[in-house]
């Protein structure tokens, strides 16, 4: 007979945090949400950390280069989806890595004999309004001038005007010589009240561009997550089929961390992929793995070399794996079980393997519960799919704006590799749905509210770090009746009365 677990499989909604003592210094502004992203040994520090405990899911409707930049600005990491051609995924990584840096190699360049229409086409392709004019149209050619949106007026020009006629020429530009420090470059920008500072070598060839907006961006986003070259930290997903070709391309593109994307990580295919990465790159390439829902699955992936382990099967809002296959486990129960195994593994080996809770987040307070239950960080799909920065379309449904959102197991995604069991190279049946989520606007403001709730909850528990939360938190299961009690009840909400009065 099959092994039967005595305890029921529980979700985050079946638990509440019990308040602890809150000292005078325990205020939201004092809360530090930094967390490890990759494994490390006891007494050492992880090579990669995040400033907030959030990552975006490896999904077509969630994580592209635009989301990668937006989330890195806030201190998290986006894992660019892998259910696309290797080349296109690598290009997304490259765009995200080159978006922000102290010294930027120009990717918008043009010859002086080009026309205005060429400037407009280049702007549409790159999204950048500042274009370097070089003698050969390359990023390393001799700098002739600069074109910005202030140099032309489309309504008064026909598109055939040569760039040389309306660009700001080199003799009217403020430039810096190669070797200038970033601090010095920013001083020049402020002193001359300019937005762009070209950096040239001794022969006048363009080397870099330094942008005022990058300095302003850092001041507006103090938690932004940067690598050693002051570029945004970017993640990318890989599968267990073409990893031998995909991993090298993503590493070459600059990806800081990879993650095996699969509905079930307790497989021979993930072990082979992890062992191949270690054999080819040693510890230089960081790669997470998953998903698992129990201690056995965790130990398997940790022993195989995973840098972090994702926890969760079937808990995503668009996931129907449990309905289709009867496979999975309540997210809270899975996380509690895996966290216990992680503790045993740490005691035995001295190696700390971070846990990523993936799925099951319905309300903002679930984030705090997941962290208290042992997650180092979380991976969210539906949450990020609602924002402007997600790659899906915004549509008007019945007078309300929505964003399209579909699962990687849906027919639309055609991501059979994520559900590959070593069989036919096609999706035999769906494990995800095609849906909509309410449009919520920009990521920054929404994320600030969510993290504000998490910080406030942590203070209620007397904690100012995630580690302290996990030590001090007290969690209680709740009954169905207490769940009802926790919301508005036994009153008539004003909005319902107003809606009733507006009925015809």
Q: Residue 470: which of 383, 330, 368, 396 has the closest Cα?
A: 368
In our burial notation (b when 16+ CB lie closer than 10 A, e otherwise), range 398-421 reads eeeebbbbbbbbbebbebbbbbbe
Cα angle for residues 58, 60, 61 (degrees, 5° grid): 105
**Cis ω before 291 (30° cut-off from 0):** yes
Confirm if 185 and 175 have CB atoms less than 8 A apart.
Answer: no
Of 254, 302, 383, 281, whose CA–CA distance to 38 is shortest?
302
Give the torsion through C-alpha atoms of 270, 242, 90, 114, to 10 deg: -170
Q: Are 331 and 353 within 8 A, CB to CB?
A: no
Residues pairing with 283 in the sheet = none
At residue 184's C-alpha, the angle toward residues 149 and 98, to 5°, is 50
CA distance 231 to 228: 7
The answer to whether 270 and 262 have CB atoms below 8 angstroms apart is yes
CA distance to 185, 197, 276, per residue, from 173 (Å): 14, 8, 51
137 dihedral zone (left: phi>0; alpha: psi -120 to 50; beta): left
Question: Has 319 been annotated as catalytic?
Answer: yes
Return the number of other C-beta atoms located less than 10 Å from residue 297's C-beta: 25
User: What residues pair up with 429 in beta bridges, in sequence order?
Assistant: none
Neighbours of 77 (CB within 10 A): 26
- Chain centroid to Cα 184, Å, comes to 32
Q: Kindly name the residue from 10, 246, 342, 418 that is annotated as catalytic.
A: 418
Task: Give exposure, 202-231, as e/b (b: 16+ Cβ within 10 Å).
Answer: eeebbbbbbbbebbeebeebeebbbeeeeb
Q: Distance between alpha carbon 73 and the CA centroid of its chain, in Å?
A: 10
Exposure string (b/e) for 172-196, b if CB count within 10 Å is 16 or more?
Answer: ebeebeeebeeeebbebbeeeebeb
| CA angle centred on 292, ends 80 and 344, rounded to 5° | 120
- Choice among 26, 35, 259, 319 that is catalytic: 319
Nearest residue to 380 via CA among 398, 397, 351, 405: 405
Strands in 73-193 per DSSP E: 77-80, 109-110, 131-134, 143-147, 168-169, 176-177
The partner residues of 131 in beta bridges, in order of sequence, read: 147
Q: Would you name the residues annotated as active-site residues? A: 319, 418
């Amino acid at each position: 007979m099959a092994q039967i677990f005595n305890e029921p499989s529980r979700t985050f909604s079946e638990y509440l945090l019990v308040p602890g003592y809150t000292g005078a210094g325990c205020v939201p502004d004092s809360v530090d949400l930094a967390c490890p992203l990759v494994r490390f040994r006891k007494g050492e520090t992880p090579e990669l950390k995040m400033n907030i405990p959030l990552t975006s899911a490896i999904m077509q409707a969630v994580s592209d280069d635009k989301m990668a930049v937006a989330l890195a600005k806030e201190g998290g990491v986006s894992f660019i989806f892998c259910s696309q051609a290797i080349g296109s995924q690598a290009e997304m990584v490259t765009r995200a890595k080159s978006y922000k840096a102290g010294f930027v190699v120009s990717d918008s360049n043009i010859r002086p004999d080009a026309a205005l229409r060429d400037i407009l086409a280049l702007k549409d392709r790159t999204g950048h309004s500042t274009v370097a004019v070089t003698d050969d149209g390359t990023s390393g050619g001799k700098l002739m001038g600069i074109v910005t949106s202030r140099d032309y007026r489309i309504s008064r020009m026909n598109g055939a005007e040569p760039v040389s006629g309306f660009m700001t020429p080199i003799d009217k530009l403020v430039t810096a010589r190669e070797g200038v420090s970033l601090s010095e470059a920013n001083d020049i920008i402020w002193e001359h009240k300019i937005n762009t500072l070209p950096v040239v070598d001794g022969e006048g060839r363009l080397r870099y561009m330094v942008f005022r907006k990058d300095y302003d961006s850092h001041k507006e986003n103090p938690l932004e997550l940067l690598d050693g070259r002051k570029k945004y930290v970017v993640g990318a997903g890989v599968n267990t089929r073409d990893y031998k070709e995909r991993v090298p391309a993503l590493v070459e593109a600059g990806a800081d961390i990879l993650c095996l994307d699969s509905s079930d990580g307790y497989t021979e295919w993930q072990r082979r992929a992890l062992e191949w990465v270690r054999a080819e790159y040693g510890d230089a390439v960081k790669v997470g793995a998953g998903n698992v829902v129990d201690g056995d699955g965790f130990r398997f992936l940790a022993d195989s070399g995973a840098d972090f382990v994702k926890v969760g099967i079937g808990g995503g809002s668009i996931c129907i794996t449990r309905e289709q296959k009867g496979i999975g486990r309540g997210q809270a129960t899975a996380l509690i079980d895996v966290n216990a195994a992680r503790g045993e593994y740490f005691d035995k080996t001295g190696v700390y393997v971070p846990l990523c809770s993936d799925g099951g987040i319905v309300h903002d307070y679930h984030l705090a519960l997941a962290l208290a239950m042992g997650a180092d960080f979380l991976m969210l799909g539906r949450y990020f799919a609602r924002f402007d920065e997600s790659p899906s379309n915004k549509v008007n449904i019945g007078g309300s704006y929505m964003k399209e959102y579909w699962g990687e197991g849906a027919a639309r995604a055609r991501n059979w590799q994520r559900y590959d069991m070593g069989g036919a190279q096609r999706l035999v049946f769906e494990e995800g749905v095609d849906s909509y989520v309410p449009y919520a606007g920009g990521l920054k403001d929404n994320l600030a509210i969510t993290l504000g709730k998490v910080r406030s909850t942590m203070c209620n528990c007397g904690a100012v770090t995630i580690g302290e939360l996990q030590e001090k938190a007290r969690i209680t299961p709740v009954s169905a009746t207490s769940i009802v009690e926790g919301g508005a009840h036994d009153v008539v909400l004003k909005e319902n009365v107003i809606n009733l009065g507006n009925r015809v």
